[in-house]
Structure formats: structure tokens, C-alpha cells
Amino acid sequence: MQWLKLWKGHDIAGMTELFVEDGMIFRENQEPAIGLDAIRNQFTKDFEQNPKIVSTWSTERIELSASGDLAIEYGSWTDTGIGLEGTVDDHGRFVTVYRKVNGTWKVSADMSLSTKPEEPAK
């Protein structure tokens, strides 16, 4: 929920700090953002392209490794509002992998994808 709070505040620095140094973000139709600089750039691009988007997400399940230093979060998200390309009304699923680093949970990898059916070609 900390990530969602930072997202709603457009706190790019705070969101970037949630990741391990070699963290990764995977988004549809884009090359992965790998490393803190690329992740920061991805968040910056997200807000530039969609300055008035309202995003929400919720966790549906968390799996914890037996060693206690790896966790996987599964959930769903929605985006609504106005983006640079017009009205946005999208929803989908995500998987986030966390690693415990020096006693603090950090994001190792985050992947999200839209589950909204594609519109027929015009």
C-alpha cells in the first residue's frame, strides 16, 4: 500500500527507492526497465503520458518463501481518467516479486498487463 500512496502523490523518488538496485519493471509493448535509473525514467514517462490518471490496485494473494526472504504478490489494478491520448479506462493484473535486503522488503521485479479485451480493428 506504500507504493500506491507514493503513486497517488506522484512521488517518483519514493517509488524508485522501493526497488533493489537491479530491479525490473515489465510493461506491455515496452522493453523492460532494468536498474534504478531506468525505473525512475519509466515512472517519469508514466506520469508525463498520463498526468490525470487515477490508479488503484489491490493485493489478492501473497506467497512467502520458506527462507522468509522472498515474496510474490498477485493482484489487480484499474486506471481511469484522461491521458495524452484521450480517455483511459483500463484494468488488469500484476505480479510483484519482493526480496528482503538488510531487513527491508524491496521490489525485485514488477510485471503488469491489461486484461481489457482489445477493441476490434477499425
Kindly report the three-state secondary structure assignment for every residue of 34-73: ECHHHHHHHHHHHHHHCCEEEEEEEEEEEEECCCCCEEEE
pLDDT digits (tens, 9 = 90+) for 39-86: 999 999 988 888 888 899 999 999 999 999 999 999 999 998 877 677
Tell me yes or no: is domain 2-114 CATH 3.20.20.30.
no
Is pTM beyond 0.75 here?
A: yes
Instruction: Please say if the pLDDT value at position 113 is more than 80.
Output: yes
Instruction: Output the pLDDT for position 35.
Output: 98
Instruction: Output the pLDDT for position 40.
Output: 98
